[in-house]
Structure 1
């Protein structure tokens, strides 16, 4: 019995032993086979540490190869708290070198961790100080820091990166995935004493450099525009502004600056709204600069021509439920004069003449109400409602630049289409993307959006824009080395404090030169405090920019851009100037300066008639026939305007010449109407508008 019990116990012990060994074997199998990789990685983690290696971000260049943004090698600071002998003394020393608070540094050094980050992208001076200090447990790791040579001048176009090296504004954000390099790493091992050791066999993944980007921007133009804009804002006490420069034939953006701006290197100085690129994100009512679209539609549809006459209602016109006013009182004006004097009343009449659908069609053709597709973040589309949403006053007020919102880029591209003979281009700000060896990976080429106007219409418009600068509201933009064409604009802006339209936006858009245009430049000043007219605040800034740009060496648009002559190519068409009532020598001199030759007929001291008539487009170098007559006006001569109705145009002109009255002519043939009427007293510089018609059409013309 006793033997049986012993055997039974032995069996149980053996069975228990087998179970235990089975459990051990299963566990060994789990550890060695199933979970081998997991335990291996845990063991490596205790003996190894992965240290990140920052990839070099691609460089951004301007069109001439000048650096706009670049990564430079720098260092970041890390600590191994177990190896720091005197934490308080080390924190104190780090604080004096890095400018970080002692308490913050001490808290990091007291962390129960093998590794902590102290500071990133430190200055060269701080790096040198740390190397000299030789603090135990403190190490320097290779890093990269982004620099922006243009500073504020290029901030909105180039953009910036955040502390993690990610692009957040401008081109840096738009092409972040292409610019940023791929980060790398290496494995840092610990020896028996716990010290870090890097061996030849240490695992390492090298970082990869990002691609390089070449922009269409010219850093010289960018710097010039930025300086002029800041000066104009300071002089006029404006809250902000924008300057844009475009190559009209390609759509390339040559300069784009906005204020307020920011310094990418001084984040603590940034003001609210400074990161906003106003050239593409802000929408505003353009005012009189938008009259270009109304004028373009009228000329393209042949509703009127440059010599057509319109009555400007002496400065005020009642449209029924609302009134429109001009800044100056005018009576009869040709279309050329109305555009030069920026008549709101004539613009409103032209809009009504066009009709809502036709006006809307041209606004859409010029791409208003839609984004341009430029490669910059945050572009706005502007505001252009469909005609079904318009009120009774919408068409006349939109024709003069109200009730519509545009971006600076949209308006500049519209004027660029005029300089490009009616072809609207898509704006380009990126020229190409290259790898680190200079191999082109992607290239942006000029892209046509559509043809919006005929070449002949654009020639007429450029002539009218030149008249604005030479004789109208744009005189402050005139330069002596080049014939400028442009348009001023002054728009009202709602003031939330007074709940009225008591604030203003002043602007000027110019074509340089008016013919064979190479640059379109737009200047906009937001809320100037004293003078608010675009002619007084924006036109002078435009002139300053163009004058300075003309002195640049190696201009990208033409080898002799700084020496653009006043005269244009022989096959170009120019508007014939008005030389009536001038003396023979003075008239001939004026014609020569405008690119024409004088052919004198008759005997007399003053020109009483000319052919081709004023304002007509003729080839440069063409002869202008001048009919001369004597001026016999004296004390005995009647001081009132004669009755000219029924006379031939030549007879009427001779009578006006004798009375020293300047004629303005509409049509040809027999005089059917005149303003002022016969018997009106002649004032110095008196103008008389003559409406003429062929003999067979007298009733149709007199009925108008």
Structure 2
């Protein structure tokens, strides 16, 4: 065998040597990397950090869960501690229609029998069987689930339970927090509204006030959420022995209003009746305690039902504080007060009524030709514009402006309601100064007027209107009461007495404009008003294009109550404006006086309405039968969720109570009901009602037991012949 050549041997040794060198280098790299990793690992173990990240904290975060503990929003009460607004939960209905959605045992978890499901659901939500069936037959092949619009939203717990009891495959619910307004249409703009805040910044499921007290005191009512912190395993389940830390939520504070539910409910019903019958564009009514400034009842039209949201779209503004208007002749209360108090009133002097020239402009009385030469003492009860122009001229603009400031005109009252307007005052020209004496050229709010009126009612002391009685913290037990606040003394006691005597003349004298406001058995004083409406720089013409108003005080010698009602442009002015206003003013003032033990009216058979809300329907019916009250039931459920009249309200024997139950909202048989009874039905359901005729119901456009919703329109035929 031939020996390898030296060259080949050399190459072989070279290759072998290179391999040895490479092995040594590789070993050194591996050993180096090992020590690097060992050092790095030792550092991580010792420091517990990686790239400045605390691994222990990161691990804790991965297996740590925080569960929010939601604070309860504070409750709003009336003056008698009846609930006006409180927290609740509502449920939204949806249905799964994807046939692939089944259980591990292939049990259908989707809607399999659509016709049966539609038939059952139509008994609980205000949608027909056909419409529900159409929703369930969604044509989108990729649709997993379907919803039912507004009809399937905001369902009560009772309705949810009833649907679940039917065991319908594929029918499910989601829960969301809600605000419960058990009284329906009840000082809606004052109480306001709280809704879910769906903004990105908001916590999931947070209620926020968007109107009224709910908005003004939103932070007070909201409280602070708590948290429960615990450990979970890699599957997300809570570890049984892991430490748990809990930060309890701080519930919102409760607010008690000055509103009296008995008076408020009666005012709502009375104003609704007038609003339905005469169709004014706007209407307000405010009843205040003259001594304290507490608002006992207040409402406006148009309004809305916070429970059903009916009417909300066109009724966001609070007319009592956010809208400024020319008040008209009720403003003569202030100009007469200023003239008497400043010593510029000469009641026995005579002037020529009918017309007066002011800087080349003619100002006329509402009675075009006037009443001839009459004493200034008749200017107020006759509501003579000419007389008050002359009174303002005798005072002088400087004095008159001083008293306007004293009465708080053109200034906010500071009432605890959002968006209060300050009004405006045109006072540069002699004509401007003259016409403010009878309420033109000046824009005010209802609450400004109530504050100014209080000086006349309260012997010169002017008190701030008050809507909140107290705020209480359920956590600490601390209660903060709102005290009566005297905002000034613009006139003397003697001046106030003189003005109230003039208010008596408006009713008692044969030439007074307010004789229709007399209430037998009570001493009342009033001032009427008819204000022109400015539009595009000119005043509107026409018999109904006015803001008609009346303010009254009673008992007039020592007023306990001030009632102020305004009515703008009644579209069905079938009676004189004063008769229309009297149909609201007289019963409301009389009802208030009946609660005053010093001014008790003759005995009337009355019953205190029992508390029925939250009770079983059978129990409520038994109570009503025992008290001698008739009733009508709205809904297919077995539990009462709303009632009208409200609990503790005084009602006449035989008066009808309307009960709203859980379950589907169904139409009752209303034949034989009075118009007022049907208005209660409209208020508690949100249904729009159109009346024809007078008297009692003889026919209804929606049959009994038919499903109702807030879009339902009910036509009622009334007849003077009552049928049962």
- Aligned CA distance change for structure 1 residues 466 and 21 (closer, same or farther; 3 Å): farther
Shift of 1:73: 5.5
Hey, what's the Cα distance between the residues in 2 that align with 1:427 and 1:511? 16
The residue that corresponds to 1:63 in the other structure is: 79
1:147 aligns with 2:180: yes
1:443 aligns with 2:442: no
The residue that corresponds to 2:379 in the other structure is: 338
The residue that corresponds to 1:44 in the other structure is: 63
The residue that corresponds to 1:260 in the other structure is: 302
**Does structure 1 retain, via aligned residues, the 8 Å contact 2:69–2:227?**
yes
**Does structure 1 retain, via aligned residues, the 8 Å contact 2:458–2:559?**
yes
DSSP 3-state at the match of 1:241: strand
The count of residues paired between Structure 1 and Structure 2 equals 543
Hey, what's the Cα distance between the residues in 2 that align with 1:94 and 1:209? 40
Shift of 1:448: 0.9
Hey, what's the Cα distance between the residues in 1 that align with 2:144 and 2:233? 22
Q: Which runs of 5+ in 1 are unaligned?
A: 112-117, 566-704
Hey, what's the Cα distance between the residues in 2 that align with 1:133 and 1:148? 30
**Does structure 1 retain, via aligned residues, the 8 Å contact 2:456–2:500?**
yes
1:477 aligns with 2:517: yes
1:619-670 alpha-carbon deviations (Å, 9 max, x no partner):
xxxxxxxxxxxxxxxxxxxxxxxxxxxxxxxxxxxxxxxxxxxxxxxxxxxx
The residue that corresponds to 2:531 in the other structure is: 491
Flag the structure with more relative contact order, 1 or 2, with Cα contacts below 8 A and sequence separation at least 6: 2
Shift of 1:39: 4.1
1:301 aligns with 2:342: yes
Shift of 1:366: 0.5
The residue that corresponds to 1:628 in the other structure is: none
The residue that corresponds to 1:228 in the other structure is: 270
Shift of 1:184: 4.3
**Does structure 2 retain, via aligned residues, the 8 Å contact 1:157–1:170?**
yes
Hey, what's the Cα distance between the residues in 1 that align with 2:442 and 2:292? 27
Hey, what's the Cα distance between the residues in 1 that align with 2:494 and 2:373? 26
1:163 aligns with 2:196: yes
**Does structure 1 retain, via aligned residues, the 8 Å contact 2:109–2:169?**
no
Shift of 1:135: 6.5
**Which range is displaced more, 247-256 or 224-233?**
224-233
- Aligned CA distance change for structure 1 residues 333 and 497 (closer, same or farther; 3 Å): closer
- Aligned CA distance change for structure 1 residues 295 and 106 (closer, same or farther; 3 Å): farther
1:525-579 alpha-carbon deviations (Å, 9 max, x no partner):
111232796534324421121123334xxx3xx43343499xxxxxxxxxxxxxx
Hey, what's the Cα distance between the residues in 1 that align with 2:210 and 2:27? 72
The residue that corresponds to 2:613 in the other structure is: none
- Aligned CA distance change for structure 1 residues 498 and 294 (closer, same or farther; 3 Å): closer
- Aligned CA distance change for structure 1 residues 174 and 30 (closer, same or farther; 3 Å): farther
What does 1:94-493 align with in structure 2 at a 5 Å threshold?
A: 122-130=156-164, 133=167, 144-164=177-197, 165-184=207-226, 206-267=248-309, 269-305=310-346, 307-313=347-353, 315-328=354-367, 329-385=370-426, 387=427, 390-436=428-474, 439-471=477-509, 472-493=512-533
TM-score (norm 2): 0.67
**Does structure 2 retain, via aligned residues, the 8 Å contact 1:260–1:274?**
yes
Shift of 1:384: 1.7
Shift of 1:341: 0.3
Shift of 1:359: 1.0
1:492-550 alpha-carbon deviations (Å, 9 max, x no partner):
11356998455210000001111110000000011123279653432442112112333
Shift of 1:211: 1.6
- Aligned CA distance change for structure 1 residues 119 and 506 (closer, same or farther; 3 Å): closer
Q: Which of 39, 49, 53 is the aligned partner of 1:33?
A: 49
- Aligned CA distance change for structure 1 residues 442 and 198 (closer, same or farther; 3 Å): farther
Shift of 1:431: 0.8
**Does structure 1 retain, via aligned residues, the 8 Å contact 2:70–2:225?**
yes
Hey, what's the Cα distance between the residues in 2 that align with 1:308 and 1:52? 75
DSSP 3-state at the match of 1:510: strand
**Does structure 2 retain, via aligned residues, the 8 Å contact 1:91–1:106?**
no
Shift of 1:71: 2.0
- Aligned CA distance change for structure 1 residues 147 and 271 (closer, same or farther; 3 Å): closer
Shift of 1:317: 2.6
The residue that corresponds to 1:507 in the other structure is: 549
- Aligned CA distance change for structure 1 residues 245 and 89 (closer, same or farther; 3 Å): same
Hey, what's the Cα distance between the residues in 2 that align with 1:30 and 1:275? 62
**Does structure 2 retain, via aligned residues, the 8 Å contact 1:55–1:183?**
yes
**Does structure 2 retain, via aligned residues, the 8 Å contact 1:243–1:522?**
yes
- Aligned CA distance change for structure 1 residues 124 and 308 (closer, same or farther; 3 Å): same
**Which range is displaced more, 486-495 or 19-28?**
19-28
The residue that corresponds to 2:690 in the other structure is: none
**Does structure 2 retain, via aligned residues, the 8 Å contact 1:504–1:532?**
no
1:526 aligns with 2:568: yes
Shift of 1:59: 1.3
DSSP 3-state at the match of 1:296: helix
Shift of 1:210: 1.8
**Does structure 2 retain, via aligned residues, the 8 Å contact 1:381–1:407?**
yes
The residue that corresponds to 1:538 in the other structure is: 581
- Aligned CA distance change for structure 1 residues 52 and 76 (closer, same or farther; 3 Å): farther
**Does structure 1 retain, via aligned residues, the 8 Å contact 2:534–2:540?**
yes
1:182-215 alpha-carbon deviations (Å, 9 max, x no partner):
33455798888x6967958576655443221111
**Does structure 1 retain, via aligned residues, the 8 Å contact 2:506–2:515?**
yes
**Which range is displaced more, 5-14 or 446-455?**
5-14
DSSP 3-state at the match of 1:281: coil
- Aligned CA distance change for structure 1 residues 219 and 372 (closer, same or farther; 3 Å): same
Hey, what's the Cα distance between the residues in 2 that align with 1:497 and 1:87? 67
CA RMSD, Structure 1 to Structure 2 (Å): 3.9
Hey, what's the Cα distance between the residues in 1 that align with 2:278 and 2:30? 98
- Aligned CA distance change for structure 1 residues 316 and 123 (closer, same or farther; 3 Å): same
DSSP 3-state at the match of 1:182: coil
Hey, what's the Cα distance between the residues in 2 that align with 1:79 and 1:89? 7
Hey, what's the Cα distance between the residues in 1 that align with 2:398 and 2:537? 36
Hey, what's the Cα distance between the residues in 2 that align with 1:137 and 1:28? 57
TM-score (norm 1): 0.69
Q: Which of 14, 17, 33 is the aligned partner of 1:19?
A: 33
Q: Which runs of 5+ in 2 are unaligned?
A: 1-13, 126-131, 147-151, 198-206, 604-724
- Aligned CA distance change for structure 1 residues 167 and 27 (closer, same or farther; 3 Å): farther
The residue that corresponds to 2:698 in the other structure is: none
Hey, what's the Cα distance between the residues in 2 that align with 1:104 and 1:363? 68
The residue that corresponds to 1:647 in the other structure is: none
1:593-616 alpha-carbon deviations (Å, 9 max, x no partner):
xxxxxxxxxxxxxxxxxxxxxxxx
Shift of 1:356: 1.4
Shift of 1:233: 2.2
Hey, what's the Cα distance between the residues in 2 that align with 1:58 and 1:419? 35
**Does structure 1 retain, via aligned residues, the 8 Å contact 2:63–2:233?**
no
